[in-house]
Amino acid sequence: MLMFSSLHHHPFAVEAFFTRSLVLTFAAPAETLSPLLPPCLELDTFDHKWGFAAMAMVQTKHLRPKGFPAWMGNDFFLIGYRLFVKYHTSYGKRLRGLYILQSQTDKKKMEWLGNIFTKYNYSTTDIQQKIYDNKYMLESKESGFNLEANIANEQFPLPASSPFSDWKEARRFAGPLPFTFSYVPEKKSVLIVEGVREDWEPRPVAVTNMQITFPEMLQNKGLQLANAFVVENIPYSWKKGKLDPWISKEIS
């Protein structure tokens, strides 16, 4: 049983090619999002007031263990709901990263593999995507979302609901951040997975239609659209997970 549980700890490096990644980041009062975190993590906030939840939608190609030939990989569409967080390591570093709340995919195979090798809570849903005239459309009837974004290379204004004053401020909460964290209570540790990418240049987009049914844990949190970015044609990889011991600062 212990050996099987350790499989959740990202036991090997993974690589893929991101054909397209659209990320919508939503702001909410920090006090509404903080209760969703394990005790080892703290919310990464803006202006000491806002916390952020992101919905990342990624079309991957050739996802496979690192070092395997591309033809052995699989193509999946992935959706991740995550919070922007900070973690103070046992070796004195403060890392910015993401905490995964829930993940979705368009194929049962990815749900099965994702739930064996990660703690990202995968489920399968229907996903349709279409792109024409610089419009990127995504829809899922099962998950209750319908999105359309203008992804032309233009100078779009920030969403009216954004707490940021400009895209430079917004870029700090665009993702992906270098690290993803999971709490492993049975080991009193934090699992750190580091992502590696090159030429990651998110491009601001305009969301022209947005109907989203958020996962239950994010409902009634006062989420409002803060920014939206897209990247295309990016090689990406994740290093093998590392466990970092965590000791509560609370005095019993």
> Cα–Cα distance between 119 and 128 in angstroms, integer?
26
Q: Residue 174 has what pLDDT?
A: 86
Question: What is the value of pTM for the model shown?
Answer: 0.93
Task: Convert the pLDDT of each residue in 22-76 to its tens digit.
Answer: 999 999 999 999 999 999 999 999 999 999 999 999 999 999 999 999 999 999 9
> Cα–Cα distance between 54 and 183 in angstroms, integer?
19
Task: Domain ranges for the chain, please list them.
Answer: 2-239
Residues forming a β-bridge with 180: 98, 193
Task: Convert the pLDDT of each residue in 131-188 to its tens digit.
Answer: 999 999 999 999 999 999 999 999 999 999 999 999 999 999 987 788 999 999 988 9
Which CATH class name applies to 2-239?
mainly beta
Task: Convert the pLDDT of each residue in 186-218 to its tens digit.
Answer: 889 999 999 998 778 899 999 999 999 999 999
> Cα–Cα distance between 26 and 165 in angstroms, integer?
15
Q: What's the token pair of residue 50?
A: 């806002």
For the cut 50, the answer to whether the pLDDT of residue 16 exceeds it is yes
